[in-house]
Chains A and B, each alone.
Chain A
Amino acid sequence: MSHEPLDVLAAARWRVAIALTVAMMVVYFGFILLVAFNKPLLGTRVAAGLSLGMLLGALVIITAWVLTWIYVRWANTHYDTAIAGMRK
């Protein structure tokens, strides 16, 4: 295992990418499996006109936004700085 700055950065990028990918998959397939296995739970009303299923569906879309935003922020600050340092 070498410890050149480029390898360290590649490993960091790989870790962030995998963690966020796994998070997105857990949230999305969690939702799908709930739809498949626990329909009564998702049919519960959380407010007049809003079932838990609809709320969670909207939250999956919002999760996709948030995870994407986290990655862009991480890359814009940490990753780009490290790359700029290495180019010099």
Chain B
Amino acid sequence: MTSTLGQPNVITIAWFAVFIVLSLAITVWAARKTRSTDHFYAAGRTVSALQNGLALAGDYMSAASFLGIAGLVALSGFDGLIYSVGWLVGWPIVMFLIAEPLRNLGRYTFADVVAFRLRQVPVRIAASIGSLAVVSFYLIAQMVGAGNLISLLFGLPYESAVIIVGGVMLAYVLFGGMIATTWVQIVKAVLLLGGASALALLVLARFSFNPLALFEQAATVYGAGVLEPGRLVTDPLDAVSLGLALMLGTAGLPHILMRFYTVPDARTARKSVGYATAFIGFFYLLTFILGFGAMVIIGRDAIASLDPGGNMAAPLLAEGVGGTPFLGFIAAVAFATILAVVAGLTLSGAATLSHDLWVNVFRGGHADEREQLLVAKVATILLATLSIVLGIMFKGQNVAYMVGLAFAIAASANFPALVLSIFWSRLTTAGAQASMLVGTLSTVVLIALSPTIQIDILRNTEAWFPLRNPGLVTIPLAFVVAIGVSLLRPVPLEEERFRLAARRLLLGVE
């Protein structure tokens, strides 16, 4: 079968244009409503539970999970499914430990919560370092992915693709703030869930709507091994370490945490995580069908010949079962997916730079509304430009590990301090600060010494640190540092203020 993938055609460009026009129209509408920092960072706190659930799903489900996991399942069968499961299990943790306290204690960033009863300046500086590290690595991975994917999907040069994504995303965030970002994420989530469902239905129609018949066919063609655990998980410690980072990292991603400030209260925040978990879980269940569907209907060789990583499995499958019009639609959905994620990331990075660092560190909390908005917009332009530059700088390099790195930092730098500040009365400023700094630093150092960097990228024969993902070491380390430092020098005043925090955590602003 010959594919029209990568050749610009009228239908693909039409879908693409429809999405760009629609999302820019949303931005123009949102720009008129964005007048204050509450609008810019938190969409005026008027987002409903269902809307925020969809936006959370839109913020979280990246092109890596849509195209990457479908491709991984298509090429390696069961082993790819291990990822489908891993990407979901952080959401219940967000629900049980984070969402409601965050909504009641903070305003714009997760650092608001950690700093609530501690000293503002040291806590916010440490939290900003962790946040900005997560946002930067995640952004680089997304921008490089965007450049590669868009040049494969539409036949555009890599650099133009990166500049288009950066430019359109800048327009959303700069003019429309959180209102535009939220609606772009909602539109993307609906398109992605709808597109993936339609694709799965078209696949299942060929197997009398019985998924097991599809899996059986895959086992007949490619051997029973595709339904069984293979070589992906060989080292149990590595598997647990990655699992821990995925699970707790989800609960420490700044752009996800920021979304809980867009709803009116803790009750709505709770319901929105319920919706998000349902949508995201449903989507990862669909990847079972999409992956095996591509394996059987398109064939492994055809998928790997276009892209050895398998990223083109889902688009090829769309073309195979729905022809060029459906391919165009799925390609536009992949583009929308990237835009929604980078917009969320950039907005949360801008909030860290302006709200945490500028307003609360440099200006001691005293900056008027106009100044805050201006600084937020300057920070947005800065981050968007930086992401375009980094995207082009990292062209052709293997950046797959950067998403894992972002999750590991989120799990080690942000999650322990956040959870302890909510639940442990004796956490002190020094404890939180040390934990966030040690969490960030140890993760970056151990990744640099891991087989991923030492063997895969630098081509050394061995690595100093055995685990590919350092979470198993760095997450407990961050907890131990926070608890140890806090117990070593207790601060009674900060412990007393915990009662106030605990009251507000349950009751909200009274």
Contact = CB atoms under 8 A, between A and B. Distances in A.
B277 A68 contact: yes
Interface bracket on A = 35 or more
B507 A83 contact: yes
B273 interface: yes
Interface string B269-292: 011011001100100110010000
For chain B, what secondary structure do more than half of its interface residues adopt (helix, strand, loop), or is it mixed?
helix
Contact of B227 (A16, A21, A43, A67): A43
A42 B229 contact: yes
Contact of B97 (A17, A48, A54): A17
Interface in B201-219: 211-217, 219
A28 B284 CA distance: 15
B215 A28 contact: no
B93 A32 contact: no
B240 A29 contact: yes
A10 interface: yes
Interface in A1-26: 6, 9-10, 13-14, 16-18, 20-21, 24-25
B214 A17 contact: no
B270 A75 contact: yes
A75 B267 CA distance: 8
A35 B213 CA distance: 24
Contact of B506 (A43, A69, A83): A83
A71 B502 CA distance: 20
Contacts of B510: 87
Interface in A40-88: 42-43, 45, 47-51, 53-54, 57-58, 60-62, 64-65, 67-69, 71-72, 75-76, 80, 83, 86-87
Interface string B212-241: 111111010000100111000111100110
| Most chain B beta carbons < 10 A, residue from A14, A16, A28, A87 | A28
A10 B406 CA distance: 32
A3 to B, nearest CB: 15
A13 B503 CA distance: 13
Contact of A57 (B85, B93, B233, B507): B85
Interface of B: 78, 81-82, 84-86, 88-89, 91-93, 95-97, 100, 211-217, 219, 224, 227-229, 233-236, 239-240, 243, 247, 267, 270-271, 273-274, 277-278, 281, 284-285, 288, 423, 502-503, 505-507, 510
